[in-house]
Amino acid sequence: MSTMRNSVMLIGRPGAEPEVKSFSNNSKVARFRLAVDERRMNANREWVNDTQWFTIVAWGKIADRVENNVKKGMQIAIDGSLRNNEWTDDKGQRHSNIEVWINDLFLIDKVKD
């Protein structure tokens, strides 16, 4: 492979309404947690449902689309990339988290008025 790409595609349901913040330079960010269900066979050869939660971040025009269209529990698909954030708090303890930054958003469920 000559080119590698940081890419992730997820289909799931937001666990809560997105939190949207606007900034003085007219930019916007939207954040929410996305539940992605997976059905798999466990060690006892029984089918189990496993839910993974992902922190989703959208900026700019995609943040506007999230704010206007994404609701808790509706099924959506996202195309994005992983971002690893690392920081040190006031006590000198190191922290890290991974977020999915949206490149594109697909509404599977229609928005209900």
- The rounded average pLDDT for each run of 10 residues, N- to C-terminus, in the chain (113 residues) is 82 97 93 95 92 96 95 96 94 95 92 59
Q: What local confidence, expressed as pLDDT, does residue 5 receive?
A: 85
Q: How far apart are CA 86 and CA 17, in angstroms?
A: 26
Burial class for 107, CB neighbours closer than 10 Å (0-12, 13-18, 19+): middle
Q: Which domains does the chain have, with CATH numbers?
A: 8-107 (2.40.50.140)
CA dist 9 → 6, 54, 66, 75 (Å): 11, 12, 16, 13
Check residue 112 and give its pLDDT. Answer: 60
pLDDT at 38: 92
pLDDT at 2: 61
Helix (H) or strand (E) holding 68: helix 60-69
Task: Specify the pLDDT at position 111.
Answer: 62
pLDDT at 26: 86
